[in-house]
Structure 1
Amino acid sequence: MDLPLDIGSIKGFLADDEADALYRAALDRSQHGPVLEIGSYCGKSTVVLGHACRQHNSVLYAVDHHRGSEEHQKGELFHDPELYNEAEAQFDSFGEFRRNMAKADLHDTVVPIVSSSDVASRHWQTPLSMVFIDGGHSLEAALSDYRCWAGHIQRGGILAIHDLFDEPENGGQAPIAIFRLAVASGLFQPVERVSSLALLKRL
């Protein structure tokens, strides 16, 4: 994976082996259609997926309201004061995201959609070769992301879900709940598990 920007310099929570798996999946699938990610934050996964898409002159839709998930808010565990706009009294990662897209030269590949996931999906018509879910980690948010976007994945396409933890003491259970829901639906088959990332194939 030869990226135009060191992703270690980008704020985010994606491990190197997870980044490699995402890149390989997007490199394969982006020749069949566009890719979409939910939860861009500052763009770490966006650079990985976007660079893969660029190899096939494809597009990555990056969906994020950039106001932070529950855990990013002031006083919460993963709050970053550098991303908090004191004048507006709100979290805002979009400026940092845009700077990282510029550094990675991905403006012609990445299409930022600054919106909540459910609003962005309301009139969506484009089939997707791959969807990466890494948005809000409440059960309500994770279920909404899955229900809004899983149906847009092409047959043979990939559903990737981040932050899967089998045991509650290791992390929140919403992502693994939608992983299990996807498997139980009979529409998706697990194909790879790397650290806290799962890749499933649309049957």
Structure 2
Amino acid sequence: MADTVVFGGPTRVAGIGEGLWRVGCSFLIGALPSAHLVAKCASGVDLRAVHPESVSATGAYRAAGLAPFLIVSALDVAKGYVAIRLAGRGRRSPALHAALVVAGHNWSPFLQGAGGRGITPAIGALLCTDWKGAVVILSGPGLGYACRETGLGSFASQLLLLSVALVSRKRRSALPSVAAVLVPIWAKRILGNELEVHADLPVARYVERLLYDRDSAGTG
């Protein structure tokens, strides 16, 4: 019995340490500033100066063109995919890894808290846990762009994904992963880089940010 106690303690501590290392790596993988680096190499533009609220594949497209956009999109999707694989088979923490990789992407310490909107790493994470959800989220920006309301289209697809996961028994198992990626995505839309609620802003302004991913003043 004594031997069990002696050897069980260090083993448990090692397991906790490994888990912390894995989730920390997921955040850092998400934080890798792929859009910033690709745009900088392709055109010499610092995306933080052009559009600090969203250092993303879209920003890379505006600054450097289609090829950098495709490269950044592929890298960002890969970040989400790798983070979930890092969780390992049989582990109970894929939702935590999904949330952290998207949060790292949205508020990268390498960019002093700037980052993207989290859609592309969310797609990568959902490809591992819920590929149908990845398709739904991917369709939103495209449909929104066709209607000239990319932000609203993105939000509509995300809300649809969450609603189906909530009401459908067949989709209930996907709810943790869906919620995990949507929380940091919506937090970034509402609060921006600072993650701060300003008392002087009306509630309607925050609702507008959530729905349209923009401010009436023109920022977004």
TM-score higher than 0.5: no
Calculate the TM-score normalised by the size of structure 1. Answer: 0.29
Structure of greater Rg: 2
Q: Which has the higher helix share?
A: 2
Q: Which has the higher strand share?
A: 1
